[in-house]
Chain A
Amino acid sequence: AQSVAQPEDQVNVAEGNPLTVKCTYSVSGNPYLFWYVQYPNRGLQFLLKYITGDNLVKGSYGFEAEFNKSQTSFHLKKPSALVSDSALYFCAVRDMGGGYNKLIFGAGTRLAVHP
């Protein structure tokens, strides 16, 4: 069965420093991986996805994610954090088992960027 793990409940980083939000996955076959961000009182916003090709995927708001097949990881990164990046981040994998339509989400990681 497909699964996603976000090992950190919260990540704290100072503004201007690089940030990493970790995600590991378990799938049978090729993974289709996604990152979403949830701001307070707003819906989940799509950031980026990995389907195939380059291991470094660039997305919205200066975020990027690195796909590492050998480590089964898809960590979210940003070179310089902003206070406005503070939010809840979810990693997700497409369920390739019963159907092509479900997303399986991790539990989320809260990112706190301090001035």
Chain B
Amino acid sequence: GAGVSQSPRYKVTKRGQDVALRCDPISGHVSLYWYRQALGQGPEFLTYFNYEAQQDKSGLPNDRFSAERPEGSISTLTIQRTEQRDSAMYRCASSLFSGGASDTQYFGPGTRLTVL
């Protein structure tokens, strides 16, 4: 079946512009996660949704970052007034259950964001 999809795969923007990154999880998956991965590092947690409810946003670096999942399926991560330090790979993952400790997260291909 189809895996997690993300769009766009690559995004180049100018500093100060807003960007929206989209994630389409595996069908039927309850939980959705966003991570950010800098070059040479492992992914770092940004935020977590259980259905449409954003239950953990402790990893969002500042208030320029926001995320939503209004119908409990597709999610959008929005970065306002982008800065060069926002350049990274943004990864989305989904899991079948409600974030249980043993639940497996399945990742999408990521969106490579470059802020000029």
Using a CB–CB cutoff of 8 Å, the interface residues on chain A facing chain B are: 4, 32, 34, 36, 41-46, 49, 51, 90, 92, 94-96, 98-108
B51 part of interface (Cβ distance < 8 Å)? no
A34 and B33 within 8 A (CB):
no
Kindly identify which residue among A101, A105, A106 contacts B56, using a CB–CB cutoff of 8 Å. Answer: A101
* Contact of B105 with A by CB under 8 A: yes
Check if B110 is an interface residue, CB within 8 A of chain A.
Answer: yes
Q: State the B residues within 8 Å of A (CB).
A: 3-4, 31, 33, 35, 40-45, 48, 55-56, 58-59, 91, 93, 99-102, 104-110
The reply to whether B101 and A34 contact each other, CB–CB distance below 8 Å, is no
Residue on B nearest A91 in the bound complex, by CB: B42
Q: Are A98 and B56 interface neighbours, CB within 8 A?
A: yes
| B42: chain A residues within 8 A (beta carbon) | 4, 90, 92, 105-108
8 Å CB contact of B99 from A42, A100, A106? A100
Minimum Cβ distance to chain A for residue B52 (Å): 15
Docked-complex contact A99 and B56, CB < 8 angstroms: yes
Which of B4, B43, B102 is in CB contact (< 8 Å) with A103?
A: B43
Report the nearest B residue to A94, measured CB to CB: B101
In the complex, what residues of A have CB within 8 A of residue B93's CB?
44
Q: How far is the CB of B39 from chain A (nearest CB, A)?
A: 11
Which residues from A are CB-within-8-Å of B3?
A: 43
Nearest CB in chain A to that of B102: its residue: A51
Residue in A41, A45, A102 whose beta carbon sits within 8 Å of that of B59 in the complex: A102
B35 neighbours in A (Cβ, 8 Å): 103
Q: What residues on A are CB-neighbors of B107 within 8 Å?
A: 36, 43-46
- Looking at the assembled complex, report how far the CB atom of B67 sits from the nearest CB atom of chain A, in whole angstroms: 14
- Per the bound structure, the CA–CA distance linking A112 and B17 in Å amounts to 39
Contacts of A104 in B (CB 8 A): 45
Per a CB cutoff under 8 Å, which of A43, A90, A106 touches B109?
A: A43
- CB atoms of A32 and B101 under 8 A apart: yes
| Least distance between A7 CB and chain B CB atoms (Å) | 14
